[in-house]
Amino acid sequence: MSLIFELTAENLRENAGKLHIGDKVLLSGYIYTARDAAHKRFFSLIDEGKSLPFEINNSIIYYAGPTPAPAGRAIGSCGPTTSGRMDKFAPKLLDMGLCAMIGKGERNTVVADAVTRNKALYLCAVGGAGALAADCIKSCEVIAFEDLGCESVKRLYIEKFPLIVANDCFGGDIFKDSRARYIIKA
């Protein structure tokens, strides 16, 4: 049976041990957007011994490239992008202290192992509902790589953003577990 947790970005790490795959999280607080191009730049900075544009320890990255904000809104459509495109970057960022990632779709075994090793989380947002997700985003500020447009790194303030735990810190994987549940053996 899945549970519903109302948590903040600031207390997500300390509550990770209470969350299991399938649990629902209503997340509030500051998170950062970053997609492929931003991740490549993160790794260039790391290779050069430079700081990332935000403190990675206990942070949450949302794999999203929001559209421009219409008049009167903090942001345009802001749905998740496919997380697997960041799989080559995620383990290092998790080892550096990243608390959680938000996206859609399955992660590879190396990422799942890094989630477990670092007592972190991978949370899924509902794909195809970017306009609805934007209702939970109360502020948006570009903090790095403005030249990347929608893929620039943004600091978002979210309120009760609905998520599902897809990889927990115990090694649970909602994608693998769900598939195993529905396999028909002849």
Active-site amino acid positions? 39
What H or E segment, with its residue span, contains residue 60?
Answer: strand 60-62
Other C-beta atoms lying within 10 Å of the C-beta of residue 91: 19
The residue among 73, 42, 48, 74 whose CA lies nearest residue 148 is 42
Count how many Cα atoms sit within 13 Å of the Cα of residue 141 in the half-sphere of its side chain: 8
- What whole-number distance in Å separates Cα of residue 141 and Cα of residue 52? 16
- Residue 137 pairs in a beta bridge with 158
